[in-house]
């Protein structure tokens, strides 16, 4: 995408950036395991109609708030849930009290995650995260009750911190306001999550351009002759490349990461899909908006260390404690792999490719900066001189072990 097009059409450009200016995750599975052609974010289909399943209200379990946008399906003791079209023939819906049909009243856009869609309507543009029975990326994407409410539960926790003004002012989230789960006669659960499209924590004047962080350094699949946005921004505004990536993006992002850790006792999954950048009009300031809050680690041991009282309704899902074999590994995984390999590394590599700057100089400055925060954590929080990534294989979620690979000499701490 051309920077001039983004500046001229900041909102509609986000649709293109979300889907096509995306190199995928470092695992390499993003385009290998995706939705079908008609619903894939990587294809040229502009929109599609989702499905809707209506069933007796007694079959549903709600958490938080689901907007009353389809009240016509809630009459006479009935309720509804939105279903991904790829799931049309799933055995879950072969129930005499379930009615599954195409919702022609609703148009949606696929987003980078594949199973999350954005509503296209002049009065509504929220997101709906949908249950997907099958592999997207490297893992299965089913949403039983505990996974469905994990995001809204964490959204409430972070929202409270934002309202108390105890978090970094550059932090915002896309609030996940509620979850709805349909339960069939075999007690199998099928969920969805409702996500608002207005960042909580920022005012409209705090950002003019909002897009996924991967779009800053990825190539445009449709216009592969266009240079990365990061290169275009630095060149257009004649910023000093090293100063720009460090002072505007990387060091403030390290601030944000450790603010979540040290203030709330949680580890956000800041991969390039979950983190969005909000830039000011001249791209001289950057804010950080987190989405897909379900995958945040709740560090119960650290919370106790910090004196934070917290109880999770989904315990032990996405809760980590010192007694676990991979407690230190998970800290490294979220920081060194998710944040480091998914965002920090590609930004630095893109800048060094297009400008005459020293990779190792940038890397060392990040290490020194991060150490000021690491010194405030328990001494055994991170593994000593080791860091961990996932092997490039599919993840079997039925097993407690994960395919970690150990490396020496962490890149960014």
Percent above pLDDT 90 for the chain: 83
pLDDT at 13: 96
Q: Which of 228, 158, 145, 256 is nearest to 191 (CA)?
A: 145
pLDDT at 310: 95
SS3 per-residue string spanning 134-167: EEECCEEECCCHHHHHHHHHHHHHHHHHHHCCCC
pLDDT at 400: 58
pLDDT at 183: 97
pLDDT at 375: 98
Question: Do the Cβ atoms of 195 and 274 come closer than 8 Å?
Answer: no
pLDDT at 25: 67
CATH class of 3-408: mainly alpha
| pTM, 2 dp | 0.93
What is the rounded distance in angstroms from the CA atom of residue 396 to the CA atom of residue 401?
A: 9
Q: Which of 342, 167, 329 is nearest to 255 (CA)?
A: 167
Task: Extract the residue ranges of the chain whose pLDDT is less than 70.
Answer: 25-33, 137-138, 392-402
Query: Domains of the chain: which residue ranges?
Result: 3-408
pLDDT at 240: 98
pLDDT at 38: 87
Helix residue ranges per DSSP H, 186-294: 229-237, 241-243, 251-259
Exposure string (b/e) for 89-101, b if CB count within 10 Å is 16 or more? Answer: eeebbebeebebe
pLDDT at 399: 57
pLDDT at 28: 57
pLDDT at 53: 97
């Amino acid at each position: 995408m051309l920077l001039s097009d983004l500046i001229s059409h900041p909102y509609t450009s986000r649709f293109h950036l979300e889907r096509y200016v995306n190199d995928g995750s470092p695992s390499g599975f993003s385009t290998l395991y995706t939705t079908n052609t008609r619903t894939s974010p990587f294809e040229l289909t502009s929109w599609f109609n989702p499905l809707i399943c209506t069933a007796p209200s007694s079959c549903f379990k709600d958490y938080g708030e689901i907007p009353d946008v389809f009240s016509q399906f809630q009459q006479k003791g009935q309720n509804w849930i939105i279903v991904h079209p790829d799931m049309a023939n799933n055995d879950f819906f072969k129930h005499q009290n379930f009615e599954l049909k195409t919702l022609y009243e609703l148009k949606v856009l696929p987003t980078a995650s594949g199973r999350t869609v954005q509503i296209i309507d002049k009065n509504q543009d929220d997101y709906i995260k949908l249950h997907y029975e099958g592999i997207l990326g490297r893992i299965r994407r089913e949403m039983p009750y505990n996974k469905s409410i994990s995001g809204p539960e964490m959204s409430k926790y972070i929202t409270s911190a934002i309202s108390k003004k105890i978090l970094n002012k550059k932090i915002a989230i896309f609030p996940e306001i509620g979850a709805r789960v349909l339960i069939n006669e075999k007690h199998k659960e099928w969920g969805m999550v409702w996500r608002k499209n207005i960042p909580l924590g920022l005012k409209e004047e705090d950002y003019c351009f909002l897009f996924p962080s991967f779009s800053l350094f990825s190539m445009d699949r449709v216009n592969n002759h266009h240079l990365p946005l990061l290169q275009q921004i630095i060149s257009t505004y004649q910023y000093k490349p090293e100063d720009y990536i460090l002072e505007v993006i990387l060091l403030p992002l390290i601030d944000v990461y450790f603010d979540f850790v040290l203030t709330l006792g949680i580890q956000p999954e800041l991969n390039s899909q979950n983190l969005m950048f909000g830039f000011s009009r001249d791209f001289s300031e950057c804010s950080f908006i987190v989405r897909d809050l379900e995958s945040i680690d709740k560090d119960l041991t650290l919370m106790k260390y910090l004196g934070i009282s917290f109880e999770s309704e989904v315990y032990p899902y996405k809760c980590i404690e010192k007694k676990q074999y991979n407690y230190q590994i998970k800290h490294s995984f979220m920081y060194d792999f998710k944040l480091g390999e998914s965002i920090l590394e590609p930004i630095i590599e893109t800048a060094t490719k297009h400008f005459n700057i020293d990779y190792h100089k940038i890397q060392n400055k990040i290490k020194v900066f991060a150490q000021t925060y690491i010194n405030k954590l328990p001494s055994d929080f991170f593994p000593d001189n080791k860091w961990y990534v996932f092997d490039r294989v599919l993840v079997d979620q039925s097993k407690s072990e994960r395919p970690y690979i150990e490396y020496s000499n962490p890149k960014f701490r």
